[in-house]
Structure 1
Amino acid sequence: MAEEAIYVPRLAIGLVHYPVRDRQNKTVATNVTNFDIHDIARAAQVYGVERYYIIHPMQDQLMFVERVLDHWRTGQGAKYNPKRKTALGPVHTSESVEKAIADWNVPGALIISTSAKDEGLKKYTFAELRHEMHVEKRPVFMLFGTGNGMTEDLLKSCSGTLESIRGAPPQDYRHLSVRSAVSICLDRVMGPW
């Protein structure tokens, strides 16, 4: 008897550098970091993410990302560390969230934001989003903000917000690096448990 093919949900992620908030709640653009390129790409590869978009409106920041990608995909880095080349395969750059979603071009995808704060928006628990993805077979584009989180307008434009990752009681500390948050979220919605 032939084995049934395993269904892998369609998932893209975006690391949003603009529009995000600073500590004074002003809309700003944050800088791309080398760690975020590499570490999130590795997590994306582990959990079957189709595309990982680094979203920034400034060309110099996108050019920085492209130089890093070129080094590891086709330069000396590709020979030095072939696994890094594989991990960086799904990484793309985009000038805006809208352009990233259009580039992925998957009709009917849920656009899900993430936030450490309770923003008062439509919420998806991890279990609900996992059900949408694995049972209802809904594709998902998940956005992760940098700085002090995505702007309210961007959050409101999404299909919903994923529940926040809670810290251990009694403190409920919620100040993870975005790399850690991405890894936890991907494991909860894509992990084989």
Structure 2
Amino acid sequence: MSEENQIYVPRLAIGLVHYPVRDRMQKTVATNITNFDIHDIARAAQVYGVEKYYIIHPMEEQLMFVERVLDHWRTGQGSKFNPMRKTALTMVKTASSVEAAIADWNAPDCLTIATSARVEWAKRKYAFAELRNEMHVEKKPVFMLFGTGNGMTEQLIGSCSGVLESIRGAPPKDYRHLSVRSAVSICLDRVMGPW
């Protein structure tokens, strides 16, 4: 295939942030990593061409749990039992902080984009179409962050390049209480889907 006929695939990494996030009382906490989030988000990331999926947590015990899960599916019994799962988990990495994850990905001048319902904390607000244009036309690498608990802290959101518009529910209810796994899949389809 000639160079001009090759499809450009935007550079995208995602991070699932377990700290710093907020609890229901708006206190800064660290949330527990769940097995479902490791697997399901990795599968969505594989479908949409994500380069790296970082699970971000400051506690070594939590990161060791992720590594045990990954070892089982990459090289242990799970790799023989379900080769598709092994493929999906190839891009999963752990990091002790957002900064460490971004440094590890090593995409100079990448946009860091938070996903949050709290857009008032943003330096800039991105509609899905605007971010898609930045990625596909302007060819800017993007590191997209997804929060657990009750979302990322104001300080973390404010440190990002911008915040992606929130996912809206169907009218008239506009119900907005998705699992992070569902939110990741919707966001990835809107910015990376072949439509």
Asked if residue 50 in structure 1 is aligned to residue 68 in structure 2, the reply is no
Q: Paired residue for 1:148? A: 150
In the alignment, is the contact (CA less than 8 A) between 2:17 and 2:146 conserved in 1? yes
SS at match of 2:150: coil
Q: Paired residue for 1:192? A: 194
Distance 1:63 1:48 in 2: 26
SS at match of 1:84: helix
Distance 2:180 2:127 in 1: 19
TM-score of the two chains, using structure 1 as the length reference: 0.98
SS at match of 1:112: strand
Q: Paired residue for 1:13? A: 14
In the alignment, is the contact (CA less than 8 A) between 2:121 and 2:154 conserved in 1? no
Distance 1:136 1:83 in 2: 33
In the alignment, is the contact (CA less than 8 A) between 1:116 and 1:175 conserved in 2? no
Distance 1:153 1:54 in 2: 19
Q: Paired residue for 1:135? A: 137
Q: Once superposed, what is the RMSD of the aligned Cα atoms?
A: 1.0
User: 5+ unaligned residues in a row in structure 2: which ranges?
Assistant: none
TM-score of the two chains, using structure 2 as the length reference: 0.97
Q: Paired residue for 1:171? A: 173
Shift of 1:116: 2.5
SS at match of 2:16: strand
Shift of 1:120: 4.3
Distance 2:54 2:120 in 1: 24
Distance 2:67 2:178 in 1: 26
- How many residues matched? 193
In the alignment, is the contact (CA less than 8 A) between 2:119 and 2:163 conserved in 1? no
Distance 1:36 1:191 in 2: 21
